A and B are shown apart, each in its own frame.
Chain A
Amino acid sequence: MRLSFLSDLNAERAARRAVVLVTDIASGEQRLVLEAKIGSDPLAEDLQDRLRQGKSGLIERGDRQYFLTIQTPPVRVIVIGAVHISQALAPMAQGLDFDITIIDPRTAFATPARFPDVPVLTEWPDAVLPTLGIDRYTALAVLTHDPKIDDPALAIALRSDCFYIGALGSRKTHERRVQRLTALGFTDTDMKRIQAPIGLDIGAVSPAEIAVSILAEIVAALRKERRRPA
């Protein structure tokens, strides 16, 4: 592999753009296809198909065998609320190789001291989320309990194609949340996208346990095609 391909692969990943490396297995010849150029590649259909699945793999076309290295943007987890659970969740998410960003407009919560080595944005979600480019590799968890902060974030998430939306709060809290969001024009289908109460039911009690249950639910959403039927 040319060093320039390797360096482009890494740069595209950092820029959250997909890229495909096509290797002709017999000759070792390679080309790097940027997301924006996939349509004009001779193997466009295969590339698009593989990219949708996010799966690298071998294909045979004519008498040639190609290996497609599919690189999708890293999974990003955006957490609304610089709360106790988020403090436990952030390092775990980094251990899973998820890009984590914490958003909380409350300056007392969103301090670097509480979140070492984690990007924390002291902003209102409706101001900052549109600048982050929420895509289908993004998960969003709202954890403040405060409708003023959580609801605008949920509204933006529901209008995006993010792969996971979770909201902290009891069933009653969520019922009221559903009423508010419905009043804003969101549908039942939209409401079904919100995991609430957030997290897999593992009986989590402590902030760290709740963080595990949330991240497990995010992994389950990410890998849903691989899961065994219940």
Chain B
Amino acid sequence: MAIFVDQNTKVIVQGLTGGQGRYHGLRNKAYGTQVVGGVTPGKAGQDVEGIPVFDTVADAVAATGATASFIAVPPKAAPAAILEAARAGIGFVVCITEGVPAQDEARVFATLQRDYPATRLLGPNCPGIISPGKCNIGITAGEIAQVPTAAGPNVGIVSRSGTLTYQALYELKQQGIGVSTCVGIGGDPVPGTSFVDCLAQFQADPETHAIIMIGEIGGSAEEEAAEFITHHVTKPMSAYIAGVTAPAGKKMGHAGAIVSGGKGTAQGKMDALRAAGVQIGLNPTEAGALMAEIVKTLR
């Protein structure tokens, strides 16, 4: 098993004929993901290296039975693209678009909650999701992810940062530790999927035996995760929080990574997670090493 996506997930790419969509869509397909179609208004009937293109998500779903969508369109178009996917009955939407206005994100999230509760949004501004050996949606380099073993122990990864996610995948691969699913929830202020959503899934997934979480400064998602872990997560965890030395009031690259009014500091987040029984690494390598130790005890 894996969480959110697996070998049965059928993916369409909204923006398949654009630069990003084409590049990553084809990479995802080459990885073995079932990329069954693309959507670009006005380009129905065309194909991208054999992948059929449709005018609308509804057409694509009707023709292919797609269950997931990968959105790689510019920020202006992303909110409408997400809602179009939801309207067409897509259950899992991955939006990698960086630069979507926060007001739009808040409206999209509220609309999904009210009108399309069956649709889960991952992102925007996220690297995507990979269930190694089964399905890769987004920009993760599949080759750095270790395929899980039936016997385990396998690790689930959830992260707010792209490159630090890769780092975690890579360190586990160096140690020969399999990954059930790696979810990049993204660095924006209103992510469609939160740490808590992923932790709940990992806790319920029999193929996941331990969890690595990578957070960063800004907001209170890590504190909410700590609260959830205390009451609902029994699987061992290690974590790393980026931004201990980040100056207050400055956005550190990600729209959501900012310490404001003394809130959202790395120290506060680490303290909360530690209190919830999570082992904290002071850098990503240390969090990986801690996980390697945890896995040894599970073997």
Whether A associates with B in a native complex is no
Q: Which chain B residues have a beta carbon within 8 Å of chain A's beta carbons? A: none
